[in-house]
Structure 1
Amino acid sequence: MDDHPTTPSPQAHVCVLAPEQIAGPYFRNPKLIRRNISEGSSGVPLLLRLRIVDAATCLPVSDALVDIWHCNARGAYSGWSKVNPDQEVSVGSIGAIPRTDDDTYLRGGQFSDRNGCVRFTSIYPGFYAGRALHIHVAVRIMGSNYLDDRHVAWVGQLYLPEVASRPVLNTQEYAGRTVSVLNNAEDDYYTRMGGERSTLSIYPIGRDSWEDGYFGYMSIGIDTQAVSEHIKPEDFDTYTV
């Protein structure tokens, strides 16, 4: 995926430690190393670039495994496709909601390149009851045995700017829900853990219309020595298919 031709690159000097957020109940580790995570999911295209930076040195973090996962246009997560996204759940911890299937759409990981960047082809996420639109991210600092390394350094959620989300939510794939989406400011996780610092920069892919999809990017500053409390080794063992 090439960067949007009119979009500036994330600034190299942005190296503030990014706020962590919970992994949520729909985390799993399918060990899918892939750039295109859509698996044919219907929705407005989203090309995503994330740049991982060491918050202490401002240097790019290469060879980190960056996983993302998010819901589809109707608010469903793969692995939990039969959970009704129009009914709010009151639990947020990993494993709190039993899996209903082995689907893997809208999940995957990439190793960061020498510039600390990863790129994904996906769709614009929908929403589920009680939350604003968001994308989950986890960053693992890898050892010699890549896919068995469990050093999760950072876990977060990235939010979508409402000016871009409004027209998307009015399209056929996203519309017709029985619940209303929360604005970012109405989402407790957004207001308590990051706010604008956790909001993606979004640009239309097409020069004249957003209907061809969006390009989104963000620089994420992490502590490479940290061990996140939000995804633990036992979470990988229990919830890997």
Structure 2
Amino acid sequence: MKREEFLKKGFNSLIGFAAVLPILDACKSSSVEPTTTTSGTTTGTGSTNGSSASNCTVTSSETEGPFPTKTPSSLVIKDIRSDRTGVAFAFTITIKNANNSCGVLAGALVDVWHCDKDGYYSEYGGTSMQQKDFTSVHFLRGRQVTDTNGQVSFQSIFPGWYQSRATHIHVHIYNSAGKSLLVTQIGFPEASDSAVVAVNASSANGYTKGMSGYTYNASDNVFADSMANEIGTITGSVAAGYTLTHTIVVSA
């Protein structure tokens, strides 16, 4: 079975957590702005969800699989690059609590993972879903605990893409006791002058696929029904690297 055949229903329990919060209506309080470019610098503005008590909707839940981190507690690191190369990329996630008027949530455990520039995941492979075998390595995966500002930050490389999926980052959030609060994903702005387009045109940095065959957010079988509160904000350039920021709202 190929990875693109996986739909999001039924996979939030892949690593043993059976319940994830139901998807709430995100469209009422989130917006996604267009992407613009000036002098090679890309600015892509994403969701404003979580910006205030009146704009506070629990972020949509998404599938955890098919490549969740197997033992996230062993990957408490900030720099998740390992040996992966690509355009420099840093991202900061802010966790907020819908049950506290969207106040920040300190002490939450945040696991992240994404594919490399070629679309491969670590910890998996040698199967029809991912033929290249990376079962013994752990690149582009990490865990951090949110600080007093409800934030975690990671150093990485700009993710590539694979068939049927838009560029994305997986996120699984737990409370301090290890209870699963939300499994979700972060999408990327993808206008014609976006970071996604600029990076995938950067063959000098090893991105060889371009945008031919790329699945856009609106056609992605995960994002298509709930992308409004899942799009991150991106600034930067291919030469200088990119920075993504995103707020995720949970019910804690």
Range into which the TM-score falls when normalised by the shorter chain = 0.7 to 0.9
1:223 paired to 2:251: yes
Per-residue CA deviations over 1:37-80 (Å, capped at 9, x if unaligned) read 01131111111000000012111111111000000000000012
Displacement after TM superposition at 1:18 (Å): 0.6
Distance in 1 (CA, whole Å) between partners of 2:70 and 2:139 is: 12
Unpaired segments of 5 or more residues in structure 2? 1-42
Question: In structure 1, which of residues 206, 213, 221 is the aligned counterpart of residue 241 of structure 2?
Answer: 213
Q: 1:165, 1:219 → 2: CA distance? A: 20
| Alpha carbons of structure 1 residues 34 and 86: separation in structure 2 relative to 1, 3 Å | closer
Alignment of 1:42 onto 2:85: yes
Residue in 2 that maps onto 1:164: 195
CA distance in 2, matches of 1:136, 1:120: 13
Percent identity (aligned) = 29
Moved over 6 A (4+): 84-87
| Contact 2:120/2:130, CA 8 A, preserved across alignment | no
Alignment of 1:67-146 (within 5 A): 67-82=111-126, 101-143=135-177
Length-normalised TM-score, structure 1: 0.74
Determine the structure 1 residue equivalent to 2:59.
Answer: 18
- Aligned residue pairs total 196
Q: Give 5+ residue unaligned stretches, structure 1.
A: 1-5, 88-98, 144-148, 225-241
1:196, CA displacement in angstroms?
A: 2.6
- Counterpart-to-counterpart distance in 1, 2:113 and 2:69: 9
2:188 and 2:231 in contact (8 A); partners too:
yes
Say if 1:219 and 1:190 are closer, same or farther in 2 by CA, change over 3 A.
Answer: same
Q: Contact 1:75 / 1:85 at 8 angstroms: preserved in 2? A: no
Read off the aligned partner of 2:202 and give its amino acid letter: T
Alpha carbon RMSD of aligned pairs, Å? 2.6
1:100 is displaced (CA, Å) by: 5.5
Name the TM-score, length of structure 2 as normaliser: 0.71
Q: SS at the partner of 1:190?
A: coil
| Deviations, residues 2-42 of structure 1 (Å, cap 9, x unaligned) | xxxx999x875253211010101101233210110011311
Give the AA of the match of 1:76: Y
- The 1:174/1:84 distance shift into structure 2, 3 A limit, reads farther
